[in-house]
Structure formats: structure tokens, C-alpha cells
Amino acid sequence: MPKKEASDVNGFGERLATFRKARGFTQKKLSSEIGVSRRMIAYYEGETRHPPTTILPRLAQALGVSVDDLLNVHGRRDTPNRSMSSRLHRKLQELEQLGTREKRQALRLLSQFIAREYLKRQT
């Protein structure tokens, strides 16, 4: 049976649970990430159709998605960074906060590393 995409499910709670599981979070881990109780995460996943706007940005950041993705604003069927590990995604978010020069240096280093690995695989 194919896995559900987060945007394939109807309600906010189902999408939240799908994103959470895709990122490898338990309800407890996600709750500690955003500063709410585990019971609140369970409630948001199961019983509410209207998520509290005060925690949407924190949920989105912890899960590595946009608030629009959580709310399925655009009804998109593809989810960004679906296959990306949550650790890598967090590091990329941190990289995004750096200055232009630092970003360029990091990207140059990353490009060199990828090229080296690609050459190793070719031999």
C-alpha cells in the first residue's frame, strides 16, 4: 500500500501527523520541540479541524515545512523536502540565516564535497 502524502489527507490533524511521522518525530519529541504538551499534539492531530494560529509557525519550523503546507493552502500534492532528513533540513535552515558571503562559502564547500564523492564513485 503506498504511503500517504501529507497533502493527500483531508484534515489538518492528519497532515500534521503525516508530516510528524515523515520527519521521524514522536508526539512527545515534537511537543518538546515547540513547547507544548504531548496531549496538545495528540489533540491537534485527532480532534481539531482548526489549529491554533499561535503555534503554526513553530510547528512548521520544527517539521521543516511551510505554514501553507500544514494548512494545505494551495492544495499541492507534492511536499517540499519530503525525502530530506530532518537534520539536514535544519542545517539548511541555519545556513539560510547566514550572510551572503558565508552562504557562498558554505555552498562552495558543499559543491566541492559532492564533486569529490561523485568522482570517487566513478572510479
Measured CA to CA, the distance from residue 100 to residue 106 in angstroms comes to: 10
- Tally of CB atoms within 10 A around 86: 15
> Is 1.10.260.40 the CATH number for 6-71?
yes
Residue 103 CA neighbour count, 13 Å, CB half: 9
Measured CA to CA, the distance from residue 31 to residue 62 in angstroms comes to: 10
pLDDT tens-digit readout, 56-99:
899 999 998 888 888 887 654 444 445 567 777 777 778 888 88
For the chain, what are the domain ranges? 6-71, 86-122
Measured CA to CA, the distance from residue 84 to residue 102 in angstroms comes to: 22
* Whole-number average pLDDT of the chain: 79
Measured CA to CA, the distance from residue 64 to residue 9 in angstroms comes to: 18
pLDDT tens-digit readout, 31-46:
999 999 999 999 999 8
Reported pTM: 0.54
